Structure 1
Amino acid sequence: MTRPVRSSAVSVALLAAALLAPAAAMAESVVALRTIRPQQVLTQGDVKLDPATIAGAHDKIDDVIGQEARVAIYPGRAVMRGTLGRPALVDRNQVVELIFDKGGLVITTEGRALARGGVGERIRVMNLSSRTTLFGTVAPDGSVIVSQ
């Protein structure tokens, strides 16, 4: 024959389990300390961690330090994902070296960047010789590796 469990015994068991379970870590959000202008690279003095949890905001300062703001971020506002990117190495209208390398054939010429871009980003460029618009990936040395 089974004995019915009293509700106070269940409450005590649940309370004990809750006290013994590890506490959930509180999430934090990265917040701007001062106005951050577009194209500004973030430094340690620009941001801080705030104990509030804001959906879509960065939660680690290391993820934002050294990144470039794509839009203005105002003091006290959370630094949202998608508002930062790699620092631009190539500016719009800058003359860059275009490199096409396929199957042992290497063609190098000058081009004009039609967008800003950081290392590894795909941007549009115009070949200055033929006036053809192409896409390429920004290389660490500032040249653009043309894909077509």
Structure 2
Amino acid sequence: MPAGTVLTAADLRAADSDRPGISDPSQIIGLQTRITIYEGRPLQASLLQAPKLIARNQIVQVTFQRGPLRIVTEARTLSDGAAGDLVRVMNLESRSTISATVQPDGSLLALN
């Protein structure tokens, strides 16, 4: 499986082995591989990560919300990010750089 593959049940196969690895498939389905993983290699938590929802250089909408005030603008991401990650983005209008949190739906919420 190439790096960046999101694991599904079809990608996994149980094998009797004395090599350490994750034995419960429910713990890893939906995670993304960090590196290329070759067939027969036991899966370990260090080889997996939460799936990236935001890619570097992607044009996204960033929302700033405080009370009734809501501002939405377009920005370019400066790094990849999974849900809950803090990423830097550049506002396309002002060219200023701000930090935003990646939401589970892939949207970005600007910090104060």
Question: After the TM superposition, which segments of 4 or more aligned residues of structure 1 sit over 6 Å from their partners?
Answer: none
Instruction: Tell me which protein shows more helix as a share of its residues.
Output: 1
- Structure index of larger Rg: 1
Q: CA deviation at 1:99?
A: 0.7
2:14 to 22, 31, 49: 49
Consecutive unaligned residues in structure 1, runs of 5 or more: 1-35
**Which secondary structure does the structure 2 equivalent of 1:50 belong to?**
coil
Structure 1 residues 6-25: aligned runs within 5 Å: none
Distance 1:72 1:131 in 2: 36
Q: CA deviation at 1:53?
A: 4.8
TM-score by length of 1: 0.65
**Which secondary structure does the structure 2 equivalent of 1:62 belong to?**
helix
Q: Which amino acid aligns with 2:68?
A: G
Q: What residue in structure 2 maps to residue 130 of structure 1?
A: 94
Consecutive unaligned residues in structure 2, runs of 5 or more: none
Q: CA RMSD in A?
A: 1.9
Q: What residue in structure 1 maps to residue 32 of structure 2?
A: 68
Structure 1 residues 1-148: aligned runs within 5 Å: 36-51=1-16, 52-54=18-20, 57-148=21-112
Aligned residues: 111
Distance 2:64 2:40 in 1: 46
